[in-house]
Amino acid sequence: MKKINFHIKLQNHIWFWLIYFMLNFLRWGAYFNDYKYSFKSNLIEFALHIPLVYFNLLILIPMFVLKSKYIQYTFSLIASLGVVYLLKTGLTYYIISKNIWPEANRDYSPFEINHIVAVCIGELYVLAIASSIYLMLTWLRERDRNKAIMENQNKIKLKYLKNQIQPHFFFNTLNNLYALSLEASDKVPDVIIKLSNLMEYVLYDVDNDKFVPLIKEIDYIQNYIEIEKLRFQDVEVRINLESDIDNINVPPLLFISLIENAFKHGGINNEKLKIKINFRVRNSQLEFEIINNFVISPPITNKKGIGLSNTKKRLKLIFKNNFIIQQKIKFNFYSIKMQIPLYNED
């Protein structure tokens, strides 16, 4: 069932009606030069304005408008205005003056058309002002709440995408470690230490909703590369830093899946695997590029894997459409170029 949730503090309601009352009291008191009459008249009117406004907001709108029952709402509002008219006319007659409409240029009797229209228009005027302010504040609160929900959902999605990378990578590394242990390789202690460093970074240094220094991310990449080098007999990896990156922050684990794919696919049937990684800052953008050689068979079309699609989803969540990621094949080299907005901790 649809409903309106109102969370405006009680004191704000009180202040609104007090200020509105004072403005009306002073306005009509000055207009007729009769502040005593203005006070009594506004006292009666506001005693009717306030219940009508909240009856409309809390009962009529949820019961009819939010259920698209506009005809029922219209008749209910007209009936409410009729009750207000009877009360206002009666109270004015018995408490203030036998002339039920002293502001007019002649004496009016109850139920004259002009008087009915004037009272109803006055009530609708107050109803429109109060309801507009009330609903606008409620809408703003709901907008902020929905925005917070969306941000939380995005954090959950980012956490899910990041967590996809970690088990995938650690599973592969443990497999490599197992293979080395079967061979009684003296490389096993090295792999364990480097794997420990990687796990420490992922578990303790990386926060799901914060950027990390690019320097730390590159250290993580280098540890990963050293582990991967243990699997390949002949591999050449170069990391080029073409700009000053000391104060640059990036989303955590953004590049690792692309680098992992370069080893995974570039190393198939390759006598010598060559990988080149470039970082460069240009025009307030951070450019990342990774190039690796590969053998035409098996088909490079199967090369996307989890890495590229995962990276694109994360970039979309973090930067909306403010990023570029391109892949290209030229001769026996495959490259991925990524460009994201520069995030500087200063």
Q: Where are the domains of the chain?
A: 10-146, 186-341
- Tokens describing residue 40: 């009594």
For residue 197, the model assigns a pLDDT of 80
Q: What percent of the chain has pLDDT over 90?
A: 20
Q: How do residues 122-152 score in pLDDT, each as one tens digit?
A: 899 889 988 888 888 878 887 887 777 776 6
Q: How do residues 15-46 score in pLDDT, each as one tens digit?
A: 888 988 898 888 877 877 878 878 888 888 89
In angstroms, the CA 340 to CA 281 distance is 10
Judged against a pLDDT cut of 70, whether residue 7 lies above it is answered with no
In angstroms, the CA 206 to CA 216 distance is 10
Q: What's the whole-number mean pLDDT along residues 255-270?
A: 77
- Tokens describing residue 120: 């109803």
Q: What's the whole-number mean pLDDT along residues 300-326?
A: 75
Check the CA dihedral 297-257-271-292 and report its sign. Answer: positive
Q: What's the whole-number mean pLDDT along residues 328-341?
A: 90
Q: Which fold has domain 186-341?
A: Heat Shock Protein 90 (3.30.565)
Do 332 and 272 form a contact (C-beta atoms < 8 A)? no
Grouping H, G, I as helix, E, B as strand and the rest as coil, residue 287 is strand
Q: How do residues 69-108 score in pLDDT, each as one tens digit?
A: 999 999 999 999 999 999 988 888 888 777 777 776 677 7
